[in-house]
Amino acid sequence: MRADTDTIDEFVASDYKYGFVTDIESESIKPGLGEETVRFISAKKNEPEWLLEWRLKALRCWEKLECPTWPHVDYPPVDFQDISYYSAPKKKGDGPKSLDEVDPKLLETYEKLGVPLHERARLAGVAVDAVFDSESIGTTFKEDLAKAGVIFCSISEAVQEYPELVKKHLGTVVPYTDNFYATLNSAVFSDGSFVYIPKGTRCPMELSTYFRINAANTGQFERTLIIAEEGSHVSYLEGCTAPMRDENQLHAAVVELIALDNAEIKYSTVQNWYPGDEQGRGGIYNFVTKRGLCKTSAKISWTQVETGSAITWKYPSVILKGDNSTGEFYSVALTNNMQQADTGTKMVHLGKNTRSTIVSKGISAGRGQNSYRGLVQVGKKATNARNFSQCDSLLIGDQCGAHTFPYIEAKNPSANIEHEATTSKIGEDQIFYCNQRGLETQDAVNMIVNGFCKEVFRELPMEFAMEAQKLLDVSLEGSVG
């Protein structure tokens, strides 16, 4: 047992390598939230009247809501008046027209993070929208995508260029009344990505957004909207990091996906916000609402690898409204040190012959608390709905926790719902077995964890799968079950 404790201590000491701060002049507003904050953000972005109205409605609604307490996480109450709701790198003049005009310091930051923003990154074959604090700083491959008819830009730009598309779809999947944090986001969202895939189009490359929080005392409230027209296909990746700071920072994003008839959206996340130190000081509060709507025969697939954040509170969901539609959720969530995660999914079956698959893998180490919370709901008219859920937990060390809170509600007799959950730990016998085959203990742990997560990693695009695997290896450095 002594050896176990020692190695766990080591594990706790492993580093967060994205914790640097970029020294760049930025423009932030004073902390505080009120009508003038919302008007300021809206004016800053030169938004049309309807969007300002929508934000204000959200703000009035938010003022009446109470902060939810039901998640299985524990943190001091957030002072929403102590957060700056807008921060952006200071622009020179009118702002950059293309990436070449972007402040080299910003580009350097993304270079350091390993995000290829330059066109020379063509080889990587991924189009990137980089969001720095509240502002999108640039999107790559715009021209190439435009040839295919795909719109990929920041949501602020979309509001200016394609107002009718934004107006038609914004808030249709996650209304501004949805929940405390989604409502807050609706009032003060600053930027995010917008994707539109025209009818029958297969997006020629992977789309990706890279979120970076840099400024202190700010919250990041991005909003992403993806619309896949009939018969189209898109794969979208999302990555996130933040500097190491002693105070907690709030990140409350909203993601809306709309998959029209026969469309397919694949949304992958590798979330690596700063998790806080071993005492639980600092780190990001990641309170995110993600939801997709499937029309007839459409498919939405969420894949997430959650290794960062002090607190994660996130339930990527799918509303299976159209007949024969499919929803999938694959998740790996790792909590270490004092990290807490309450994550899972909702699959709402409304159409006939709808199918959903849930595979959730939770890994708890140190004093981390990891919860799966999910809902599978089968409506009265959802004949022949099928669901399979599997939530497995892996415990490393004896001070962590793994919890499952599944809700299953069926109103149709032809529904077929299965839920399975197991909890296990990395056994000494497993390690011993690997040791005698000549594997170092650390490699053995990595191998077992990777094996445990294989079903989820398989769903990630290849580059991301490699990154996710590396990320887990780094996070698990020095740990032995």
Partner 1 sequence: MSQVDTANPAVEPVEAFTKLEQNGAALMPLRKAGLARFSESGYSTLRDEDWRFTNVKPIAELPFRPTIDPLGQGIGQDQLGNVTFGQLDADRLVFVDGHFNADLSQIGDQPSGVTVTHLVSGLAGLEREAGSLSGGDDNPFVALNDAFFTDGALIRIADNQCLTKPVHLLFVTTAGKDGEAAHIRNWIIAGANSQGTIIESHLSLGQAATVTNVVTETRIGDGANLEHVKFQDQSAKAFHLASLHSELGRDARYAFHSIALGARLSRNNLRMRLAKPGIECVLNGLYMMRGQQLADHHMIVEHAAPHCDSHEYFNGILDDQSRGVFHGRILVQPGAQKTDAKQTNKNLLLSDDATANTKPQLEIYADDVKCTHGATIGEMDDDSIFYLRTRGLDPSTARRMLLHGFAGEIVERIRHDAVREELDALVWGRLEAVHKFD
Interaction site with partner 1 (CB under 8 A): 70, 72, 378, 380, 393, 395-425, 481
Closest distance between partner 1 and the C-beta of residue 355, in Å?
14
CB-nearer residue toward partner 1: 12 or 402: 402
Tokens of 156: 């602020």
Tokens of 236: 């979208």
Residue 287 main-chain phi, psi, to 5 deg: -110, 100
Print burial letters for 61-86: b (CB count within 10 Å at least 16), e (below 16). Answer: bbeeeeeeeebbbeeeebebeebbbb
Closest distance between partner 1 and the C-beta of residue 382, in Å?
11
Closest distance between partner 1 and the C-beta of residue 397, in Å?
6
CB-nearer residue toward partner 1: 36 or 420: 420
Closest distance between partner 1 and the C-beta of residue 334, in Å?
15
CB-nearer residue toward partner 1: 208 or 387: 387
> Which residues on neighbouring strands pair with residue 209, listed in sequence order?
129, 238
CB-nearer residue toward partner 1: 50 or 407: 407
Closest distance between partner 1 and the C-beta of residue 403, in Å?
4
Closest distance between partner 1 and the C-beta of residue 383, in Å?
9
Closest distance between partner 1 and the C-beta of residue 90, in Å?
47
CB-nearer residue toward partner 1: 276 or 481: 481
CB-nearer residue toward partner 1: 333 or 410: 410
List of long-range contacts for 44-51, beta carbons under 8 Å, 24+ apart: 44/86, 45/156, 45/159, 45/190, 46/160, 47/159, 48/159, 48/163, 50/167, 51/159, 51/166, 51/167, 51/170
**What's the CA gap between 441 and 6, in Å, rounded?**
13
CB-nearer residue toward partner 1: 239 or 344: 344
Contact 377, 347 (CB under 8 A): yes
CB-nearer residue toward partner 1: 20 or 405: 405
Chain-centre distance of CA 453, in angstroms? 18
CB-nearer residue toward partner 1: 151 or 410: 410
**What's the CA gap between 297 and 278, in Å, rounded?**
46
CB-nearer residue toward partner 1: 412 or 441: 412
Closest distance between partner 1 and the C-beta of residue 395, in Å?
4
CB-nearer residue toward partner 1: 317 or 404: 404
